[in-house]
Structure 1
Amino acid sequence: MDSDNNELSLSARQRRLLLQAIGSATLVGGVALAGRSMAQDASARQDDVLDVAIIGGGLAGLTAARDLQRAGCESFVVLEARDRVGGRTYNHDLGDGVISEAGGQWIGPGQTAIFDLARELEVDTFPTYFQGRNVYLVGGAKYEQDLSSGQNSHAPVVMKLDELARRVPSREPWTATDAAAIDKLSVGQWLDQQGIDNEGRLSFDASIGLTTGTPPSNLSLLHYLSLINSADSSMEKLEGFKGGAQETRFVGGSQVLCTRMREALGDKVRLSSPVRKIVGWDREVVEIHTDRGLIRARQVIAALHPALCNQIAFEPALPEGRAQLQRLWPSHAPMRKTVHVYDRPFWREKGLNGQITQADGPVILSYDNSPPDGRVGILATFVRTAQLPHDAKRAESILSGIFAQALGDEALHPKQFHDYDWGKVDPWTLTCVASIPPGFLTKWGHYLKPAVGRLIWSGTETADIWASSMDGAVRSGHRAALEALQALAKARRSA
């Protein structure tokens, strides 16, 4: 990995910078960190102007809000368009204290920012169940393979990807020495050159498609290498369960992180408050127009997917590069998950782990999503939306039949069925992961992170490492809070 990524655990450095921000004679939210009289003067000047407005109540936005508050700032608000917090994390309530995550759910080694957050919020974790054999379905044929040992029959190809990834810094992949040449290729084109058999290609296509939300044929090789770079330049660490980014789950589901942060923040979080227009981002005070009224703030953190930023009207217009980035950012990977609930995880008794991959049907991947004690069996499934009807009864029947072929007839009789299509639930989740096409990053990537006037960009896509993951969202929230504190300090020193 590049030198910028050597220190995967940033929590100590972030805390140190927060302390520096507190100690640098800043005024935050009318609290006199350098003198009570200064705070009173600031409050008297514009007591209706907040220090920071945060747009987005997902992991990034709530992390930023939490950091501001820990630094002494009480002059902020979090504006969330939905009637809930959590962003792209969401828990299905299955009853009796059991949940199944509809959105992001896994963490793994190296994702220290979200592990740290979970510890601070007293959210426990437990290992993902992956012991046993995977099932592959190709037409009417079925075969099983035990991958829990971590052995990989396609190691030479994986090693090539890892070696390439070492030269593509995840922080700014477009700065790699040969970025332009790499970015011309799709991952699919690169894989075509590696002499992979059909079985191997099915495995690569399924795992890469789940991580990035798009087939390898549509995915930038440069972008994918930057994701591998985040994972210690190890594709197996990025894609895998054992020792990988899918190794661990949260007790109570991933959304619990956001709900606990919201509880602590209280009425500083305003739900059902979509932002429609931002005026004066180039001035001292910015106006944020929401469905629930006008907010005025000195700094704005946009903790949003880049394409969602394009749904906000900006006056004046944003600089062309940033505006084009938002307009062109891919947003065609909303993802769709289904859930089958059974009396017990019966597949475990057969030495199966519940993971099913289908070459030519609606199942991209099913997996065991049962609770820690296994008191009920849950099969969650990423499905190909175009190959599965949206009628619940038909979808349940089709999937149950596929599961029966793979796991046995017990799969024909689920107790519950749930279907969550992120492309249909609300207008605030255009896409779940970043499915970046060839040529995009080298042309537009350098507009992604730099602040524009009083606007600070956050969200997992802006993370220096583990972009597109929950850990990346947390890291981006830490960075955005620091940028806001530093901007406030600078403005007050020059006032």
Structure 2
Amino acid sequence: MIKKSPSDASANLQRRQWLKYAGATAAAGSLVFGAKPANASIAAPAQKSEGVLDVAIIGAGLAGLTAARDLQRAGCQSFVVLEARNRVGGRTYNQDLGHGVVSEAGGQWIGPGQTAIADLTRELEVETFPTFYAGKTVILAGDVRVTQDLHGTSGGDDAIAAKLDELARGVPAAAPWKAKNAAELDKLSFGDWLLQQGVNSEDGYFLGIAAKLSLGGAPAQLGLLQYLAAINSAGNSRARLESIKDGAQETRFVGGSQVLSIKMADELGSKVRLSCPVRKITGWEREIVELNTDQGVVRARQVVIALNPALCNQIAFDPPLPDGRVQLQQRWPTNAPMRKTVHVYDRPFWRDDGLNGQIFQVGGPVYMAYDNSPPDASVGVISAFVPPGSVPGDPKAAERMLSAIYAQSFGDKALRPTQFHDFDWGRVDPWTLQCIHPIPPGFWTKWGKFLHPSVGRLIWSGTETADLWAGAMDGAVRSGHRAALQALAALAQHSEGV
């Protein structure tokens, strides 16, 4: 149930209480808020100005909408959310399969330790259900087909996983570049490290494909430091990071993951502006910042930029941003757009044969296929991660190619899907450069320190900035909470009477 907005009087009181709290926190020296960064000179306390908002938020994904929701719950009504797309949800998107059934084209799973998004889910009264994994997984290698019960895990060598878990203890997820041995670890890719361990080809395949699905890069592309930071987020447990059972892929949302953003946007109403890309930001070092959008100029005292760092390159900044921040954005990897396909069947017939719907194809276009059916199994859904360009661009041809692979795995019934959908994140719009961020070796120790600090009135948000579960939906929610507190702290420091 959506709560009604408080009265103006109670809202003003609540806002003053939040601002006083945030101001006291800032005064106590909690620099996490970044209210007054060293590289910018912020002017005297803000005066009330006609047409000037307290906060402008760029991006209506989970991070931006969470920040906006927190501001509203704190009693701050002077804000707007600017979204370039014609929808909310960012890198979550529900494909409508009809009759109330959806398939998630983007992020879709949560699991143990992801408490921020779990709390949000409860607050929004969104139901969840367990990911289906009971039965055997099919592994294809050319004409060879084998089945194996992975028991909800991602496979791989337990001894190697234990070594990774131990290494991850020394790599803080919030700032991997601050690890004591960061320089040494950041010289290696995950692939380099696996070679040093003498991993056999079978275990190496499962370890590599799991890392690619979680972080977007093959072992040779993925920095060891980045992978260890991700494991650290998961309680120093590779199993929790990569598995379905007791892991980050354990739970799905009834109605699809985008429903969280849709519900938050419904609460915010007209404060969310769609099809409103920000083209230029002027005066970020001044008291009032101007944002030039396709729907006119927005003026605000604080700006939350809830975007992938690489997307910030599409905004012109006047004056130019500090060089370190510019270099971070320009060098941020954009090589993991990902593509997800959907086959719909009358029912999940593969379950009759003790199969769980999962397929790993060695050397083929299917990184991983999986059972994405609704909780009542009213239809059967097989979704798959496929590399962009690995299957034909023509939908009919792509459907036939993948159906043949599924028939090799599940039998000839797989040749007769009732629907086919294809979502290539690298092509859907100019506002999604990639899904996740495979940080390469050498990146964090050189550029990581520029990720979090505010620049003038600009507050950086988005899942990439999260202290835990960066890159995941949970990380997006966490970053939104933090951005809202940063904005409130800055407003408290520069407002009259606070």
- Whether 2:134 is the aligned partner of 1:131: answer yes
Q: Find the partner of 2:18 among 17, 21, 26.
A: 21
Query: SS of 1:218's equivalent?
Result: coil
Match of 1:117 in 2: 120
Q: Deviations over 1:9-46 (max 9, x none)?
A: xxxxxxxx9996344497xxxxxxxxxxxxxxx99831
Q: Deviations over 1:327-383 (max 9, x none)?
A: 110011111000000000011111111110011110000000000000100000000
1:386, distance to aligned residue in structure 2 (A):
2.7
Q: Deviations over 1:38-73 (max 9, x none)?
A: xxxx99831310000000000000000000000010
Length-normalised TM-score, structure 1: 0.91
Q: Find the partner of 2:264 among 261, 266, 272.
A: 261
Match of 2:147 in 1: 144
> Structure 1 counterpart of 2:107, which letter?
G
Higher mean C-alpha displacement, 150-159 vs 477-486: 150-159
Q: Find the partner of 2:173 among 170, 173, 178.
A: 170
- Whether 2:309 is the aligned partner of 1:309: answer no
Match of 1:480 in 2: 483
> Structure 1 counterpart of 2:229, which letter?
S
Length-normalised TM-score, structure 2: 0.91
- Whether 2:204 is the aligned partner of 1:201: answer yes
Q: Is 1:22–1:72's contact at 8 Å kept on the other side of the alignment?
A: no
Q: Say if 1:290 and 1:412 are closer, same or farther in 2 by CA, change over 3 A.
A: same
Q: Is 2:210–2:242's contact at 8 Å kept on the other side of the alignment?
A: yes
Match of 1:58 in 2: 61
Match of 1:489 in 2: 492
- Whether 2:398 is the aligned partner of 1:395: answer yes
Query: SS of 1:301's equivalent?
Result: strand
- Measure, in 2, the Cα distance between the counterparts of 1:174 and 1:44: 40
> Structure 2 counterpart of 1:79, which letter?
L
- Measure, in 2, the Cα distance between the counterparts of 1:103 and 1:425: 12
Query: SS of 2:110's equivalent?
Result: coil
Match of 1:86 in 2: 89
- Whether 2:46 is the aligned partner of 1:49: answer no
Query: SS of 2:378's equivalent?
Result: coil
Q: Find the partner of 2:275 among 272, 276, 297.
A: 272
Q: Is 2:83–2:277's contact at 8 Å kept on the other side of the alignment?
A: yes
- Measure, in 2, the Cα distance between the counterparts of 1:404 and 1:151: 23
Match of 2:77 in 1: 74
Which consecutive unaligned segments of at least 5 residues does structure 2 have? 1-13, 24-44
1:205, distance to aligned residue in structure 2 (A):
1.6
Q: Say if 1:484 and 1:25 are closer, same or farther in 2 by CA, change over 3 A.
A: closer
1:153, distance to aligned residue in structure 2 (A):
5.7
Match of 1:451 in 2: 454
Match of 2:213 in 1: 210
Map of 1:232-247 to 2, 5 A cutoff?
A: 232-247=235-250
Q: Say if 1:149 and 1:477 are closer, same or farther in 2 by CA, change over 3 A.
A: closer
- Measure, in 2, the Cα distance between the counterparts of 1:493 and 1:468: 38
Query: SS of 2:474's equivalent?
Result: helix
- Measure, in 2, the Cα distance between the counterparts of 1:226 and 1:135: 31
Q: Deviations over 1:372-397 (max 9, x none)?
A: 00010000000022321111111000
- Measure, in 2, the Cα distance between the counterparts of 1:445 and 1:470: 21
Q: Say if 1:480 and 1:341 are closer, same or farther in 2 by CA, change over 3 A.
A: same
- Whether 2:107 is the aligned partner of 1:104: answer yes
Q: Is 1:137–1:357's contact at 8 Å kept on the other side of the alignment?
A: yes
- Measure, in 1, the Cα distance between the counterparts of 2:368 and 2:15: 41
Q: Is 1:369–1:380's contact at 8 Å kept on the other side of the alignment?
A: yes
Query: SS of 1:289's equivalent?
Result: strand
Q: Find the partner of 1:231 among 224, 231, 234.
A: 234
Q: Say if 1:69 and 1:149 are closer, same or farther in 2 by CA, change over 3 A.
A: closer
Q: Say if 1:44 and 1:472 are closer, same or farther in 2 by CA, change over 3 A.
A: closer
> Structure 1 counterpart of 2:262, which letter?
T
Q: Find the partner of 1:182 among 178, 181, 185.
A: 185
Q: Deviations over 1:231-257 (max 9, x none)?
A: 000001000000000000000000000
- Measure, in 1, the Cα distance between the counterparts of 2:111 and 2:272: 29
- Measure, in 2, the Cα distance between the counterparts of 1:153 and 1:426: 36
Structure with bigger RCO (C-alpha 8 Å, 6+ apart): 2
Q: Find the partner of 2:292 among 270, 286, 289.
A: 289
- Measure, in 2, the Cα distance between the counterparts of 1:238 and 1:428: 27
- Measure, in 2, the Cα distance between the counterparts of 1:258 and 1:355: 28
Query: SS of 1:386's equivalent?
Result: coil
Match of 2:441 in 1: 438
1:442, distance to aligned residue in structure 2 (A):
0.5
- Measure, in 2, the Cα distance between the counterparts of 1:77 and 1:153: 47
Identity of aligned residues (%): 63
Match of 2:301 in 1: 298
Query: SS of 2:122's equivalent?
Result: helix
Query: SS of 1:237's equivalent?
Result: helix
- Measure, in 2, the Cα distance between the counterparts of 1:350 and 1:19: 62
Match of 1:423 in 2: 426
Query: SS of 2:367's equivalent?
Result: strand
- Measure, in 2, the Cα distance between the counterparts of 1:151 and 1:263: 37
Query: SS of 1:411's equivalent?
Result: helix
Q: Is 1:18–1:482's contact at 8 Å kept on the other side of the alignment?
A: no
> Structure 1 counterpart of 2:247, which letter?
G
1:109, distance to aligned residue in structure 2 (A):
0.2
- Measure, in 2, the Cα distance between the counterparts of 1:207 and 1:86: 25
